Structure formats: structure tokens, C-alpha cells
A and B are shown apart, each in its own frame.
Chain A
Amino acid sequence: MSKDNQVLEEFTSKEYEHGWTIDLESDSAPKGLNEDIIRFISAKKSEPEWLLEWRLKAYRHWTTMKEPKWPNVHYPEINFQDIIYYSAPKQKVVPKSLDEVDPELIATFKKLGISLTEQKRLTGIAVDAVIDSVSVATTFKEKLGELGIIFCSFSEAVREHPELVKKYLGSVVPPNDNYYAALNSAVFTDGSFCYIPKGVKCPMELSTYFRINAANTGQFERTLIVAEEASYVSYLEGCTAPMRDENQLHAAVVELYAMKSAEIKYSTVQNWYPGDKNGKGGIYNFVTKRGICAGDHSKISWTQVETGSSITWKYPSCILKGDYSSGEFYSVAVTNNYQQADTGTKMIHIGKHTRSRIVSKGISAGKSQNSYRGQVHILKRAENARNFSQCDSLLMGDQCGAHTFPYIDVENKSAHVEHEATTSKIGEDQIFYCQQRGIDEEAAVALIVNGYAKEVLKQLPMEFAVEAQKLLALTLEGSVG
């Protein structure tokens, strides 16, 4: 076996690190989905009447919809009645500060490497942690509060800031947008809410950790970020789940709303359990993420490192409505074993002089299938719009597949749209060149993969880049120090 095959072999046989479970006593709804379950969830969370109505409307619409079949992924039909839609770690009272949080929970996060208290001291990132369906802790709230920034769990936002939630909820991803968005709108249990007031630059990275812990549950969280005029926020999201033989569903919705001259940077390191070597178990990650650049000169930037999930179905998109607004999408998607990913972005250019940039890097190994699916749509009134897209695929091994489905629709003659895609494996000449310079084969593979993904990784905030590199180092395992 040649050395780079060994590297591949090691990567392919590498076990999932976050596969443990912790016995957290949880409070769950019965399996299945109907209007009563939705009422149950809503009552559990002491929600106002309008939100219950909103959920029910979404649910009724969902029942009329069909599961989308167009993605390039294959999986057995999901039985939506076999899922627990609400599961919360049991807590006697709502914790006021971190000291009151269940020590088991704290231990959970320690294991994840995001000790909430340590995080607070050392890195200065505000974290909102969501286990199963409920947000369990949010750090740094008071400090952010001084600047007028609201960063809290979604349920809290519904209680404390109903006017904001009511105004923006569903404004970017309407409840009837697609099958999974409708499902999420009906049953979403928690998530994060973030509001940056006018002119405020958020001084620290905001971050959410999602964790599915209980068995048979689905996780349906919702994130809503509103950035007022001339504000700035950088937001991080990370996710893990235990190893279980059955597939679990994760259907989240993320909405970003950027006003005039505001900037939102949203980074994800997605590491849901991808299933075992034989493709058993793993998370179905069916997520709707969309941001709107509502005001002129606003900017939304998505960065994602996708390494987990047995199936990923996710298209973080930008609606570029304001003139001179810009959207960015940087993605590294790694699939291995029997993982399937169908991911990409949509850039909808509505405003004049709007710009967008797409850089997508796919790496497929094992028997996995990795697809890029994206759309660049220049509408008629979008004068002088500009887009550049690049989507590259790297194949490792001869049993995986890489696919590209870019849609480019231009209705304005002044648009400049460029798209390029390549598919290749690591070139023998590239390895030879490195070897010739005294770099051994393993290190050469590591170097090349690293360089290949660098354009995206460098977009991540420093704190996250470390984690992402660690994750990606799975690929490079055994070859770097």
C-alpha cells in the first residue's frame, strides 16, 4: 500500500470523537407530530398566542407539502411520526447564572471542549449552548447588554423581546418556504436570538453550540440575527451529536437580517455524527439558512466547514436587496465513508451594484458523494452586478463521487458573472515536486490538502479556525506532527 493510501486508510478508519452520550434526565414529548404536540411545545415554553398560531399555520401548510426529491442524496423515507419533537434536559429551576446550571451539563460541555466557564475567562466568546431542544446556558449576557446587544436563547427572546421576534421571525425564511423550513416553523423548540443595535460593533464573537443528546429526537432550532444600521457581528456555530445506530433528524432555520451598512459574518463548523464506517446511523442535516442584505452597503458572509452528518442538505443564501450590498459564501465540505452532502448557496442579486463571491471546496473520500449546488440569479434591475464563483472538488479514492450543479441566470446585460469549477485528485506531479524538495509523501498530501482548503479556512475567525483545522486534520491524520 502506498503511503498516501495509508493516510487515506487512517482517515477513513478514524472514529468519531464526539460519539459519547451523557445521562441527562430529560423531559420529552411523546413521539409523533400533530397539532396537540405543537400546542404541547408551545405551552411548555409558555409562548404567547400569536406564536402558537404561527406554528399551527406552518404545520397546516407543511401537511400539504411534499418532501423534496431533487437533492442528489439517497436515504430511506423518514417517518415523521417516529420522532420526538421536544426533549429538554430536566432542570428544576431556570438557571440565573452559570453556577446554577446542572453540573452534568457543564461536564457535557467540558467534554465537547467548550467549558462554558473557562470559555468565559479565557477566550472571551459569548456562548449560547443548545442541548437537544433547549438552550441551557448563555454566557456574557450582561457585558453585551451594556452595549445594547441582545444575545439570548430564542425562548427568552420570545418572552423578553416579543416585538422584535414578531417583526423579524419568518421575514427571511417564510414558514412556507420549503418542506423542512415549514416543519421547523411548526415545531422549533429553541435556538439563539441576536440583536445588534444601530452603530454597534459587537466586541466579541458570538457563538452557539448545538448538541443532540437524547435518542430518537429531532433537533429543530431557529437562529435569528438582526443587525441594525452600521452594526457588525461575527457569529459562530458548532454542532455535535452522540453515536447512535438510528438516523436522527436535524432541521434548523437560520435567518440573518442586515440593515444599511451592517455586516454579519456567520461561521459554522458542522460536526454532527456522520454515521459509522458502513454508513449506519448519523444525522440528517436538512437546514435552511438565508440572509437578507436589506439595506444599502450591507454585507453578509457565510463560512462553513462541513465535516459531519450522514446527509447534508444545506444552502446558506444571500438576498442582495440593498444597492451596493454584497454576499459571500466560503465552504469546505468533507465527506467520507457513506456520507452524502448536497450543499451550496444562492446569491439573488436584486439591488444595483451588488456583488457576490462563492468559493466552494469539496473533498470526497471513501464511498461518499459530495455535490455542490448553487444559483446565481441576476435580476433585471440589478445593474452592474458582479459575481465570481469557484467550486473545486478533490477526489480521494476511486469509489467516491463529486458533482457540481451551478445555475446561472442572468437577466441584466451589465452583469459580470464568472463561474469555474475543477475536479481532480492530488496530482502526482505535485507530490513529486514536494518530495523533490525533501518533503515526504504524507506531509506532501497534508500540505496540498491544507493549501487547497486554505482560501476558505482563512475566512474563519481565529478561535474557530483552530477547531476547523483540527477537524480537517482528520484528513491529514498521521501526516502532520
Chain B
Amino acid sequence: MSVTTEKKNFTQELIASFDLSKFKQDSEQRKKALAAFQSLGLPEGKSEEYKFTPITKLLAKQFKAEELYTSPTPAVSDVSALIPKAFQENCVVFVNGVYNPALSQLAAGSKVVIKPFQEAMATHASVISEKLNEIKDNNDPFALLNAAMWQDGLFIHVPKNTSGEKPLFIYHLHDANASKVTSHTRLMVVVEQSAEFSIVERTDSLGKNTIFNTINEEILVDENASFSYCKIQNDSGDLIHVSNTTVHQKKSSRADTYTFSLDGKLIRNNLNIIIDGEGCESHFYGLYLTDGDTLVDNHTVVDHKQPNSFSNELYKGLMDGKSKGVFNGKIFVRPHAQKTNAFQSNRNILLSDDATINTKPQLEIWADDVKCSHGCTTGQLDDEALFYLQSRGIPKATAKAMLLYAFAGEVLEAIKDENLKQYIDSIVSERLHKSF
């Protein structure tokens, strides 16, 4: 049997094994997504968007088709040790993709509505359908797969003029001690006019069995609103993860996103930022520190649809061991989005002989009065800087960690929330010192 037919069959089997009748709510949407997924299929080796990320091959190797959308939920009694103190007062916990109310704790007296998605579909039906219409469909095969198969999720509604709320910590825990785990989670965030809110999301895993997890995030930032979103991916287990995040920004809004990828088997982050209003500001930062045979693939798109906006992107990577880094950053400036300023920078350091990086910064500009640039570098640690530190009596390993920490520092510095900065700083420093 040829490779292509094998893959096709895997997509077919996957669709065949899926039972829509299980889901009472939202079945029309699911049907639509499934049909779209069916025509697209799982990405093949030649697919431009998944050229360096052999995710289908890996999935077909690790999973049977029917295992890809369901798995048992084990009982987890306590996660408090895993959640940083600063965020324990306002946190939501998902275990194997299912919302766990017992482990979650929401801040009292908050104006923000935080509900499991299933429940919100009944209580906030009109808001959800209205806002979903505004958000562009995502045509990534895994976004469609998620849209058809999501089991649970979260709906977050930040009413007008809300500010001063505690950041929400979302903790996705996968317990793969007993068996392989699959989960598809959905998240929707609506930040209404002039409101402010921030979310910290962390994925984590227990056990050594393979985990397949997709997360779809639809975020709408309304006029004058401000939103900050931080993802921390540091799974020690065998995790295959695809996240699809769409941030839709309206007039004069601001969005900051941070993506930290430290561990896992294969991580793919699709981040789409749609600037659909004048005077928007968007900052997105990424840091990937990979080792072993980890593959981290960041695909970002910023789509300037309206004039007078600003976007700035900075992604940095350190690749060690046999790990692979993939970066693709697209900047679109649509025909009438004049006076757009869009900047992008991607810097990489390869630390070992077997590490690789594939990067593709991409500019597509249809407006003339714009300032857009992208820069991208790949290199290794500066020998002279290392020598300088050593000549001052600093051991090589420490010196190396210092230089790498300084390299990562540019991204860490961009975090505004002090608690969050400290938390991530501790994870990154621990990681860098562990390596050397």
C-alpha cells in the first residue's frame, strides 16, 4: 500500500469512526466543520503549511483512528501543587480535556462570566452566535477537526468597562498514566468595549503514554479593549499538541500574546491575529527552548485589514539535542490598510549538531503607504562573549546559561504582569540550568 493511500485511509477512518449523534448541541456547526475537514483531510507531507511537521505520520503511528476523539477521564484529586500560588485564586482546571469544577476555583465577586462552553451555549446563546459570526473561519485541518469533535471548553465574557480583574489561569492537565489520551478543547473569549482582561494558559501532562490534544481559541477584542494572553507549554510527556488561536481585534484595541514552548513531542501553534479596526496595537512574542526530539512549530499570521494599525512580532528559539524548530510568520497588509506599521523578527540559536531550524518569514503587502519589515537570523553563541565570561572566572556551563538567559531575556522582559514574569522566569531559568 502506498503512503498516500495509507494517509487518506487514516483520514477516512477518522471520519468514519466519528459519531455526531453523541452531541446534541451545536450539531449543525459540527456537521459543517466535519464536511470541511473531510474535503481537506489531514495534512500530507507535501502540504505547504505542514511541510516540516510530519504530524499525520506521527498520529497514524501512535493512534488508531477511533482513538483520536475519545478517552476516559481519570480522577485527579489535587492539582494545587502544580498551579503557581499567585494564580490559585482564579483558576480553571481541565483534566484530559474535561472541565473539572472541583479543582477549579473562580475569584469571588468578579464581573467576568466564566462558564463551561456547553453550559454557556444555553445561557449566552445570542452572544456566542453573534460573536462567532464576526470571527473568521479557520481552515486549518486541526481547527476543523476540533470544531467537529470538541468535547468541552470554556466561555469567557468580559463585560464593558471591566478592569482590575485577576488574571485567569487555565490549566490543561493530561493524565496519561493509564492509557493514551486524546482531547479536543474549545475556548471562546469575548472582551467587550473598553474592558481589560488577561489569561494565562498552561498545558501539563502526567505519565508516559502518548497524548493528542487540540485547542481552538476564538478571541474577540472589542473597541478600546485590551487583552493579554500567555501560553506555557511545558509537557514532560509524549504530547502531540495543535492549538489554533484567532484573535480578532476591533478599533483601538490592544492585544498581547506570549507563547512559551519548552517541552513536548510535537507542538504546533497557529496564531492568527486579525486587525479589523483602525488604531489597533498588537504585540506577539514567542520563545521556544527545545531539546531531545521535540518539534516546535509556530505559524503566526497577522492580517492588517484596516489602516493605521501597528503590529510587532518577536519570536526567539534555542534548539538543542535533536530537536527541530519551525517558524512561519505571515504579515498581510490588505489594499486599503494604509499607514500600517508591521514588524517581525525571528532569531534562532542552534546548540547542537543535530538540531535544525526551518524558518519562513513572509510579507504580503497590497498597500503602498506602509512600513513593514522582517528580520531573521540563525547562528550560535558568540565565542568571544563566552570567552569573556570565562576569563572573569565564570565556569563555562554557567557562562553559557547566562548568555542563553540573556538571549531569552528579550522576550521575558516584554511580560508586563510581575507575577507572571516571575513564574515564567523561574521555568525558563530552571530549564536553562538543567541543560548545561
Contacts and interface: CB of A to CB of B under 8 A. Distances in A.
B109 interface: no
B190 interface: no
Interface of B: 48, 335-336, 338, 348, 350-353, 355-380
A401 B364 contact: yes
Contacts of B372: 422-424
A346 to B, nearest CB: 14
Contacts of B338: 398
Contacts of B360: 405-408
19 contacts: A70-B48, A380-B353, A395-B370, A398-B338, A401-B366, A403-B363, A403-B365, A408-B376, A408-B378, A413-B352, A413-B353, A413-B380, A416-B379, A420-B374, A421-B361, A421-B374, A423-B371, A423-B372, A425-B370
Nearest to B361: A406
Interface residues of A, number: 34
A340 to B, nearest CB: 13
A420 B373 contact: yes
B350 A413 contact: yes
Nearest to B51: A407
B378 A416 contact: yes
Contacts of A395: 365, 367-368, 370
Counting from the closest, the 7 A-B pairs by CB-CB distance are A413-B350, A395-B368, A417-B378, A422-B373, A404-B363, A419-B376, A423-B372
Contacts of B358: 407-410
Contacts of A424: 370-372
Nearest to A380: B353
A420 B380 contact: no
A328 to B, nearest CB: 20
Contacts of A400: 366, 368
Nearest to B325: A410
A162 B378 CA distance: 45
A411 B359 CA distance: 12
Given A420-B373, A425-B368, 17 more contacts: A398-B336, A398-B338, A398-B369, A399-B335, A400-B368, A401-B364, A404-B374, A406-B361, A409-B358, A410-B378, A413-B353, A415-B378, A418-B377, A420-B374, A421-B363, A424-B370, A424-B371
Chain B interface, DSSP helix/strand/loop, else mixed: strand
A415 B353 CA distance: 11
A334 to B, nearest CB: 15
Nearest to B340: A423
A399 B365 CA distance: 10
Given A410-B356, A411-B356, A418 B365 contact: no
Nearest to A388: B377
B356 A398 contact: no
Contact of A412 (B350, B361, B362): B350
Contacts, number: 111
Nearest to B348: A410
A414 interface: yes
A396 interface: yes
Contacts of A270: none
A172 interface: no
A397 interface: yes
Nearest to B364: A403
A479 interface: no
B357 A420 contact: no
B48 A409 contact: no
Contact of A398 (B362, B367, B380): B367
Contacts of A393: 363, 365
A402 interface: yes
A404 B355 CA distance: 26
A398 B371 contact: no
Nearest to B343: A422
B385 to A, nearest CB: 15
B335 A414 contact: no
B361 A409 contact: no
Interface string A8-21: 00000000000000
Nearest to A369: B366
B362 A404 contact: yes
A420 B345 CA distance: 9
Given A408-B359, A408-B378, A413-B351, A423 B370 contact: yes
Contacts of A404: 361-364, 374
A70 B46 CA distance: 12
A345 to B, nearest CB: 15
